[in-house]
Amino acid sequence: MPRDRRDYFYKKAKDEGYRSRAAFKLKQINEKFNIIKKGDTVVDLGAAPGGWLQIAKEISGGKIVGVDILPIEKIEGVETIKGDIRLDVTVEKIKEKTRKEGVDTVICDAAPNLTGNWSYDHARSIDLAASALECAKKILKPGGGFAVKVFQGDLFPDFLDKVRQGFVKVKAFSPKASRKQSAEIYVIGRELLTGAVRINEEYNVTIEDTGASGDGIAKINDFVVFVKGAKKGEKLNIRIRHVKPNFAFGDRIE
Ligand SMILES: C[S@@+](CC[C@H](N)C(=O)[O-])C[C@H]1O[C@@H](n2cnc3c(N)ncnc32)[C@H](O)[C@@H]1O
């Protein structure tokens, strides 16, 4: 008997009318991180056969768009695109479909066809996840959320760093519905950063104003940075300590 047939989540998915056991992974990710909220527009990359799309539709009830190189059988209230998530032409098609609402959350469970050669499969999984990250950065609204599957391996820490550069809060998570022996892990990014500045970068700034709390206010490409104890008119070097979607905090450096 194939392993899936004996599997608890396989049976549960069948009983509850979900197209994949993976559906429960998204449920568990969302229970913990709340990346999909009521009314959200959600884009699902690598969505066939559609278990995640069913869950996203249930949670949000808003606009849901699924993308896959394989056809996705119709789900009521869900739009689909047949395309490769690594290609710009696919990103453009997603933008066309979501232009009016903007995208709140991008989720990606895409996986390459496994060859059994571990480092090769790992590298292709990272490549897909990196494409999903690039796509997410192009289509998400400021402050939007992201969840992506990766097979763990040597390239994972670098990938995690890339996600950290793009989101305020980043966590790696293994849902219970993932098989124990699986090397897959999900990276969750919350609050997409769209500002020009990044943590630990240094800038020379002029304090243009004083905020309500008494902090100095500098602007870097129109992005507001609060600098504790700095006075209006001061020119100083700062290091970015904390970044939020619409502003950042910097510390004076000598
Ligand atoms: C594990 S399945 C997704 C299962 C889905 N989350 C569900 O719950 O039904 C991975 C999917 O990624 C898709 N995929 C792999 N590479 C892709 C690519 N470059 N572009 C789009 N889809 C891709 C595969 O065709 C496959 O359908």
Rounded CA-CA distance 121/226 in Å is 44
Torsion of CA 24, 30, 36, 42, to 10 degrees: -40
Whole-number pLDDT of residue 3: 56
Domains belonging to the chain, first-starting first, are: 3-192 (3.40.50.150), 202-253 (2.40.50.140)
Catalytically active residues are 149
Q: Output the pTM of the full model.
A: 0.86
What local confidence, expressed as pLDDT, does residue 1 receive? 44
- List, for residues 177-216, the tens digit of each pLDDT value: 888 778 899 999 999 988 778 888 999 999 999 999 899 9
Task: Determine which residue's CA is closest to atom 13 belonging to ligand 1.
Answer: 46
**90, HSE (Cβ side, Cα atoms, 13 Å):** 22
CA of 44 from ligand 1 middle (Å) equals: 9
Per-residue pLDDT band at 136 (split at 50, 70, 90)? very high
Residues in contact with 31: Cβ distance below 8 Å, sequence separation at least 6, in sequence order:
none
Query: Mean pLDDT across the chain, nearest whole number?
Result: 93
Task: Express each pLDDT in 71-105 by its tens digit.
Answer: 999 999 999 999 999 999 999 999 999 999 999 99
- Best substitution site from 69, 108, 149 to test ligand 1's pocket, by max atoms within 8 Å of Cβ? 69
> How many Cβ atoms are within 10 Å of 39's Cβ, its own excluded?
12
Best probe residue, ligand 1, of 10, 94, 109 (max atoms within 8 Å of C-beta):
109
pLDDT band per the 50, 70, 90 thresholds, residue 147: very high
Tokens representing residue 139 in the block: 């289509």
